[in-house]
Every structure is written in structure tokens, then in C-alpha cells.
A = this chain, B = another copy of it.
Amino acid sequence: MISKPRFSTESGRLEAFSDGVIAVIITIMVLELRPPDGTGLGSLHALIPTLSAYVLSFVFIGIYWNNHHHMLRASDGIDGRVMWANLHLLFWLSLVPFTTAWLGRNAFAPVPTALYGFVLLMDAIAFTILQAALVQVNGPGGAFAKAVDVDVKGKVSIAIYIGAIAISFLSTIAADALFVAVAILWIVPDRRFEPVIAERSDGEKSADAEGGRTAR
């Protein structure tokens, strides 16, 4: 194998830390769902916007975890740039509970809706940056680079977010519908990395067979 300086194949702890941060993010959002003062069914009515915003954000964070998981498994390793690109993504994801709380309290207000879209946009951009950093690590001509080459869904999502932010000031319902549209677009797992992962698994198996050692 060709020596790649300042390059680490150990992405396990990066994934574990990301999992921890994402697990805390996805769960502390529920703290915004405060028990109502009354005890009747009607008192739950006021929680519907907060609960709806929570469901939407839960799905988005779930999608990011899912795609993060697939993308890192398809990569041969990480370096310092990947670590910072990953922290940058975690930072923008960590703002989702804040924008979710503001949106949940002001479901039909333009600025909270636009800000919610803005943080989703920054999440998408941060994911794209992380992807580009992983392309560098894996080599621009390799299987990983080919897998992410076109990235239609990523570009479409960014375009929809920008549209949703603009449309928030005309109709918050239309903006919400666009957020839901992006979520539906991504609920299907990212299949791009599956050939790369399969190939890597085969490589590991051959290495095992030859050298009698496990890759992890």
C-alpha cells in the first residue's frame, strides 16, 4: 500500500463521538416539549406546533445520522481536515434544537421559519464540506469520489432550502411544505456508498484471508 502521511485509518472514535453528540442533540429537543398546565385533552392542543417541529427535526437529525454513518463507512480513513469538517457539521446540527424551539413557539412567524431553514441549509453545506474533505482523503479519482461525484440530491436539497427561506416571508406553510419535501427526498438511505462499502468489505475479507488479521 502506498504510504499516505498524516492519514489515519481509525475513524472509529470519530464515529463514536459523532454518535454521542447526535444522540444528545436528538434527545434534548424533547426537553422543549413541556407538560401543559391543564390536564384536559384541550391543553395538549397548544403543543401541536411544538410537537410537529420536534417530529420534523427528529427526522432531519435521523437522516443526518444515517447518511453520516454510510458516508464514513465508505471512507478509507480520516485526517485532521475531516475531523474539523465533522466538528463543523456537528456545530450546525447542534443549533437545530434552538431553531426547533423557536419555530415550535412561533409556527406561523416568517423569521423563525426562515431561521429554521437557514440552519438546515448550513447543515447541508457542512455535510457537503465533510464529503469534499473525505474525497481528498480517499483520493480524487477513487471509488469514494465517484460515488459522490454527481450528488443530485445534495444540490437539490440546498436549492430547496434557499427557496424555502425566501418563501418563508410570503407563506410559512409553503416553506414548511418544502422542508417536508426535503425530508421525504432523504428518507431513503443514501445508496451511493453501498458499492464502495461492499468493495471495502471484500477487500477486508481478502486481506483477512491473506494475512490472517481482521481490519476491525
Determine if A175 is an interface residue (Cβ-Cβ < 8 Å).
Answer: no
A47 to chain B, nearest CB (A): 9
Copies in the assembly, this chain: 4
Asked if B30 and A31 sit within 8 Å, CB to CB, the answer is: no
Interface residues on A, range: 35 or more
A141 contacts across to B, CB distance below 8 A: none
A189 contacts across to B, CB distance below 8 A: 80, 83
A66 contacts across to B, CB distance below 8 A: 83, 87
Docked Cα-Cα span, A191 to B79, in Å, equals 11
Closest to A23 in B: B20
A49 to chain B, nearest CB (A): 12
Determine if A156 is an interface residue (Cβ-Cβ < 8 Å).
Answer: no
Determine if A154 is an interface residue (Cβ-Cβ < 8 Å).
Answer: no
Residues of chain A at the chain B interface (Cβ within 8 Å): 6, 8, 10, 13-17, 19-28, 30-31, 33-36, 39-41, 43-44, 55, 58-59, 62, 65-66, 69, 73, 80, 83-84, 87, 90-91, 94-95, 97-98, 101-102, 105-106, 109-112, 115, 187-189, 191, 194, 197, 208-209, 211-214, 216
